[in-house]
Amino acid sequence: MVFSDTIFLFFFLPAVILCVKLCPRRFRNAALLLFSLLFYAWGEPIRVFLMLGVIVFNYLAGRSMERCPAATEGRTRRIVLAVAVAVNLAVLFCFKYVGGFFGLVGAAAGRPVSIPEIVLPIGISFYLLRSLSYMIDVYRGSAAPQRNILTFGAYVSFFPQLIAGPIVRYSDFKRELVSREETAALFSRGAERFIYGLGKKELLADQLGILADRLLLGETGTGSAWAGILAYALQIYFDFSGYSDMAIGLGNLFGFHCRENFDYPYLADSVTDFWRRWHISLSSWFREYVYNPLGGSRKGTGRTCLHLLIVWTLTGLWHGASVNFVLWGLYYAVLLALEKLFLRPGEEKLPGALRRLLTLLIVVFGWGLFYFADPGQWARFVGRLFGRGPDSAEALLYVRSYAAVFTAGCLGATRLPRKAIERLRMGRFAWLEIVFLAAVFLLCTASLVRDGCDPFIYFRF
């Protein structure tokens, strides 16, 4: 089940809201756990037992840390943590990477490797990172072990963030699991945020995706190739930020506050700045649990570059055991290392507008590595980007046909819509926002009824 689905919008979500709100407060986490399991089982009826196993294992591991004998507490806790991390990573490796790594070995050896196909459980990367966050936070002492398995299960399986994040760390979520204030104002804000996210997905991302696929996969010329990769850059932004908006909005409906996951990343003035704005929850997770424990940037330039290489190799692999994701991670490792070496904060010599344009071109070019799983296909695409091939009449027709949605996407990736809405709220025509939200929801519903729902891009990860 996905958020942009009429079954979710008109049946599942109203049922969850009604049942959870009618429950006594002490049973609401149990109700959220039950509905989260139903939400997951809708699309993964067998693999829901894998998630249940992850919940039970990490709950017991956390409790065992609490029960460590005082005489051997430090050593025993380290052993429990090591076992928990190893088991979680083993589950991730078996279900997400086995096929991909065998494929990489076969490609390196020049022959295909045939193994039984293992279907990737949806959302496994996200709920396992949440589980690892819990275990590390408990080990560090920044969070006490959760004694109620239903409450812990609600954290791991919370359906708004189960499939594609944001990745909520346990230390940030623990208070509201136990005690949260559910107000009408927060509920209203959540519903508004959800509708805006739905509009991003249905009215912008899905339409831009059609244009991107037709231009990137076809034998188009240079202009159309650039238009295609720009369309894909906008598609992946609105698709993923739209999901994050919906997830944050759904959390608000049930009294939870979640950190922002995007902050206008295409306005960044450096690659470092871009990764402070894009998929913030993933970037902060790797910084908190990998980069900083390795030593961060505190051990000299050489070690800093090594730490960046490790983190970004892992970031690429987190997206999948495919050559293109590894290359994509290395691409950013090199760029971030170069910025650490040569770009000092406050010493930028280029004008801000030029820095933003240069960063945008670097990021957009990088999305080509992300899009093409086959390096040979990506190399041919790069040839089209920097060649002089003519654009076909069909490609130009596609570009003209999607000019309106492309323009809307370009404007939507800036702060202009947000500023316009904020000014509208402050004036006497604030009621127009309600009309606008109703129109967006009706247009999204009409699109879903006509075309059905497309899966979110990050469901693959």
Q: Which residues are catalytic?
A: 319
Alpha-carbon distance of 155 to 399, in angstroms, equals 44
Q: How many helices (H) and strands (E) does the chain have?
A: 24, 0
CA dihedral 295, 298, 300, 306 (to 10 degrees): 30
CA pseudo-torsion sign 158, 164, 169, 175: negative
Alpha-carbon distance of 344 to 323, in angstroms, equals 32
Give me the DSSP letters along 120-136: PPTTHHHHHHHHHHHHH
Q: Which two tokens stand for residue 24?
A: 């006594």
Cβ neighbours for 453, distance < 8 A, ≥ 6 positions apart:
2, 4, 5, 6
Alpha-carbon distance of 372 to 377, in angstroms, equals 7
CA pseudo-torsion sign 265, 453, 18, 161: negative
For residue 252, the Cα-to-chain-centroid distance in whole angstroms is: 18
